[in-house]
Amino acid sequence: MAFAEPSFRHCSTVPPGTVGREDQPMIPRLFTPLDLASGTTVQLDPAVAHHALRVLRLVTGAPVELFDGQGQAARATIISTAAGTVRVELLLPPAPPAAVSLTLAQCISAAEKMDWTVEKAVELGVAAIVPLQSQKATVKLTAERSARRREHWQRLILAASAQCGQYHLPRLDDVARLEDWLKQPAPGDRILRVILDPRAPQPLSALLAAHEAAMPGRGGGADGSDCIWLLCGPESGFSDEEYRQAREAGWLPAGLGPRVLRTETAGLVALSIIQARWGDLR
C-alpha cells in the first residue's frame, strides 16, 4: 500500500492519557501498513520516510510511534536513516472500539472546503467518508478528476489520522452520484440515517433523543444501533428530487439550529453533536 507524498502537518502526538502534560515529549506518529511485532524491523513507505527524515528531521535513535490503520500501534526506534528503517520495540494496547460508528456522506464542495471537511471529519472520529456528486453542486468532476481527488483525500486522511491519534484509517469510498448511491439497499435496518437540511421539522438533538427513547440500552453497537450515517449537501443544498429520494429511502431529516450552516460546517457540527452525546468527545 503506497501513497503519493502526503502533506503531513503537525503529525505528532503525546502518548495516550498524557494530553496536557507539559513534561511529556511529543512523539511523532508514522503510518505503516506492515504487520507490527516486537523486535522486528519495518521499512517505511518512501513518502512516510521522507516526511520523518527530511521534514521532521528525525535521526537514528529517535523514538516514534507506528500505527497500521487497523487499530494496532507500537513504539519503535529509527535504526537507519538511509533506508528509513525502524525497529519495533513495544506493541501498544489495541485501541478500544469506537462507541459510535459514524459515516459522513458529503456532497463534493469546492476544493479547499472539501479538503477541510475531510481532514476535520477524521479528527472527529469518522469511520467512513463517502464523496458524492449532487445535482446542484458547483463542482462537477470527470472520472479522471474524481480519481485524482480521491487520491488527494486519501493522503489527507492518512495525515490527519497520524496527527490526531486515530488508530483506524477511515474508509474512503469512490466518488458516486448521489441519486445512484441513494438507490443502493441499506446495509442494515438498525443504522440511523440522517439527512441534514435546514427545512427539517426537528433538530438533530431531538432526533437523537427520540432514537434513544425508541432503543433503550443502546451503547454496545454490536447490533448496528450505534451506526449513524450523515448526509450533507453541497453549497447550494439538495435539489427537491434528491431530498424526496432520500426521504423515500428511509433517511430522517434533521436541522442544526436556527442558522443555515455552510456545507463545510454542517457535517462537522453534526459529528460533534453525536460524539458529545454518544461518543468520545468529552
CA distance 176 to 30: 31
Architecture of domain 101-277: 3-Layer(aba) Sandwich (3.40)
* Range(s) of the chain covered by CATH 3.40.1280.10: 101-277
pLDDT of residue 276: 94
Which is nearest to 43 in space by CA: 106, 92, 85? 85
CA distance 114 to 111: 5
CA distance 160 to 48: 13
pLDDT of residue 184: 86
pLDDT of residue 25: 61
Given the candidates 2.60.40.730, 3.40.630.30, 2.40.240.20, 3.40.190.150, the CATH classification of the domain at 12-91 is: 2.40.240.20
Angstrom distances, CA of residue 123 to CA of 156, 216, 262: 11, 29, 19
Which set of grid coordinates corresponds to residue 193?
440515517
pLDDT of residue 97: 84
Tens-digit pLDDT string for the chain (282 aa): 444 444 444 344 444 443 343 445 678 999 999 999 999 999 999 989 988 998 889 999 999 999 999 999 999 999 998 888 999 999 999 888 888 999 999 999 987 999 999 999 999 999 999 999 999 888 888 889 999 999 999 999 999 999 999 999 999 999 999 999 999 877 766 789 999 998 898 999 999 999 888 876 654 344 444 799 999 999 989 999 999 999 999 999 999 999 889 999 999 999 999 999 999 887
Contacts of 34 (CB under 8 A, 6+ apart): 42, 43, 68
* Range(s) of the chain covered by CATH 2.40.240.20: 12-91
Q: With beta carbons less than 8 A apart as the criterion, state whether 264 and 109 touch.
A: yes
Contacts of 188 (CB under 8 A, 6+ apart): 224, 227
Which is nearest to 198 in space by CA: 123, 260, 140? 260
The C-alpha torsion from 160 through 166 and 171 to 174, rounded to 10°, is 0
- pTM listed for this prediction: 0.85
